[in-house]
Structure 1
Amino acid sequence: MLDTVKVAPETFSNIEFRGAMPKTAYVPQGNVAGPQKQTSNGTPIWAVRVLAETTRGLRVKEDLLTVTVPMQVDPTEKFERGQSIELVSLTFGVTPKREGNGFSTWLSADGIQPAGLGKAAAS
């Protein structure tokens, strides 16, 4: 791993839930989907799509991001598309590519919760 940075919650003016899919293990045989990844304690890992807004003055920028999040239940069962959420302990990382030159960037969070809960326990 090259580097990781914690992302301050105030970086985004709003984050909206867009959807989720199981995060699958890497399989070198091309288009074959591997099993769903899990944390060391067996919690399923999800690839969560969010629309993140940043505001500078009167300018609003929107980015569609994929964030890796461990959750016991499918996030689509807890959150509706377009619902404002908070990503708990969001981290940005850079790692070398598995094959070839270059690097990959990624985002992960410890959990998701409805917006406005602040430091309440993560879902």
Structure 2
Amino acid sequence: MAAADPDIPRGRATHLSATSLHEPAASTYRSVDLATTYRNAAVMTERGALHKIEYAGKTLFGLAADPHHHLIRRGRGRLFELPASHFSEAAAVVKACSGFEVDPDGQVVSGSRRGCRHVARDIR
């Protein structure tokens, strides 16, 4: 995408701000304004095509096709995707200890990354 999100390298971003979604559309279709982009992203989120997360003070939208969770590396602010299947054991522990049932995808977890087996995909 364009330079609106300099923290997200081109070609690797899977979660984009409305501004980053708007720029290529506006360059092709000049009548598309930022409010239209926000409204469309909201509708697509309501219908399950996109999901949204809060990250680094921004609302980011990502495709909801493959269930996944979001890991934020504390201190560096890096955002990683973790396939939902890799989170199921942790969700089971939470449920056993508290009775709280974790949603099957879309969780945002922050922490540090030591000795990781690299099952998460770096998206930033």
TM over 0.5: no
Q: Looking at secondary structure, tell me which structure has more strand per residue.
A: 1
TM-score (norm 1): 0.26
Report the TM-score when normalising by structure 2: 0.26
Which structure has the larger Rg over C-alpha atoms? Answer: 2
**Structure with more contact order per residue of length (Cα contacts < 8 Å, sep ≥ 6):** 1
Higher helix share: 2
